[in-house]
């Protein structure tokens, strides 16, 4: 069994622990519930008093946020719109590729090249149609020219088109050595694809900034694996962040019912889906039909199982004491179904990572949290996935 990380809640479900330690320092719940239509309020947490403010509303299923070096912002809407936000004003960008905006598909992630000031590249992920009602997760690179895209092209397209339109993954993050990580989900109907190294489904990819394959990727030279794959056995990664100092790659991924996970990703490793999962089948509430065990040799166990169900989307890392010295180094995982953020404190006292504290923030205050980013001002920015979604800022109340 792979022991790169430790899973600390294998024998006792987290829900039971939460009840046992309610009010303790291990699992904590922020108090207060607010009308989603308010524009600003104070939200309490254990170690920080937070001011929550609406930056903009009337966004249709906003999906992702990215910041430009000048402090301006890019925001995607899943139906197929990209906005440049300047001084609080939204400007729609023209020149997007053809996008299949149905189901969970559409215009998804946006990311800015670390050397944007010298090369001007931005990156988009989207569901690319093939004309036969099938789609693939695609990576698009372009430059901004005023309010239009230029020099635009797909630099990577998933190897296989399929239907229906779900589990696209699509998160992007830059490693400390300038490589681009991209998640692709299992696409929903054939979970065993995530165990097939000749299939991009259910993987985390590592690419050069032009979409080519780094020569040191773990499966380069293996005739039985695709060169782009960095790790596999993932159901649908939609939280992805790289630690700016250690280079650690943290992900949150959707499980079936009760199987949401926090994982620490290592090159070439298998994270188990669907062969190993602790989630249940949505229809029968029994063990997932493709699951053979809850742990197995050769499978990296999750650092943490996110119970109760979170439906994790968006993952941020706080690296300073802007909010609180206690928050420095903590992970913040957004939740769609749970409509909250989980503050996760990790530690590795004997070489294996574990979550030692789990606090719930903004309980049902904002709605379905799709993306979380730390801005250049060190505040937290959030988009909520609704037909009348919004962009929010969270900052210290004082």
Report the alpha-carbon distance of residue 314 to residue 370 in Å, rounded.
Answer: 6
The pLDDT tens digits of the residues spanning 336-373 come to: 999 999 999 999 988 899 999 999 999 999 999 999 99
pLDDT of residue 285: 66
The answer to whether residue 167 is catalytic is: yes
- Taking 70 as the pLDDT cut, the residues of the chain under it are 1-37, 282-286, 288-293
pLDDT of residue 280: 72
> In which order are the strands placed within the sheet that holds 261-265?
237-242, 249-253, 261-265, 304-305
pLDDT of residue 292: 66
pLDDT of residue 1: 41
Name the CATH topology of 61-340+368-389: Neuraminidase (2.120.10)
* All structural domains of the chain with their residue ranges: 61-340+368-389
pLDDT of residue 222: 98
Query: Catalytic: which of 83, 167, 200, 254?
Result: 167
């Amino acid at each position: 069994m792979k022991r790169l990380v430790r899973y600390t809640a294998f024998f006792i479900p987290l829900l039971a622990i939460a009840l046992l330690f309610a009010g303790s320092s291990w699992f904590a719940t922020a108090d207060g519930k607010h009308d989603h239509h308010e524009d600003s309020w104070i939200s309490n947490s254990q170690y920080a008093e937070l001011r929550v403010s609406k930056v903009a509303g009337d966004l249709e299923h906003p999906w992702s946020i990215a910041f430009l070096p000048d402090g301006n912002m890019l925001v995607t809407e899943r139906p197929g719109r990209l906005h440049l936000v300047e001084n609080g004003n939204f400007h729609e960008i023209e020149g997007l590729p053809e996008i299949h905006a149905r189901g969970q598909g559409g215009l998804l992630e946006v990311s800015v090249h670390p050397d944007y000031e010298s090369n001007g590249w931005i990156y988009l992920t989207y569901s690319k149609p093939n004309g036969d009602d099938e789609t693939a997760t695609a990576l698009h690179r372009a430059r901004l020219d005023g309010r239009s895209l230029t020099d635009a092209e797909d630099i990577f397209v998933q190897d296989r088109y399929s239907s229906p339109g779900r589990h696209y993954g699509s998160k992007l993050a830059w490693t400390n050595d300038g490589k681009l990580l991209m998640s692709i989900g299992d696409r929903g109907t054939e979970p065993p694809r995530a165990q097939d190294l000749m299939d991009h489904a259910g993987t985390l990819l590592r690419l050069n900034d032009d979409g080519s394959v780094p020569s040191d990727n773990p499966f380069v030279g293996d005739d039985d694996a695709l060169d782009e794959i960095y790790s596999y056995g993932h159901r649908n990664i939609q939280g992805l962040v790289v630690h700016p100092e250690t280079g650690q790659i943290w992900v949150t991924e959707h499980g079936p019912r009760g199987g949401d996970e926090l994982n620490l990703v290592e090159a070439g490793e298998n994270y188990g889906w669907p062969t190993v999962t602790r989630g249940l089948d949505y229809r029968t509430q029994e063990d997932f039909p493709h699951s053979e065990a809850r742990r197995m040799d050769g499978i990296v166990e999750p650092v943490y199982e996110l119970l109760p169900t979170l439906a994790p989307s968006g993952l941020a890392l706080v690296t300073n004491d802007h909010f609180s010295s206690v928050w420095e180094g903590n992970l913040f995982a957004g939740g769609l179904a749970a409509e909250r953020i989980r503050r996760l404190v990790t530690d590795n006292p004997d070489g294996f990572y574990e979550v030692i504290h789990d606090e719930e923030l903004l309980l049902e205050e904002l709605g379905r949290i799709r993306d979380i980013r730390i801005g250049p001002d060190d505040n937290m920015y959030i988009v909520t996935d609704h037909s009348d979604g919004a962009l929010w800022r969270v900052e210290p109340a004082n």
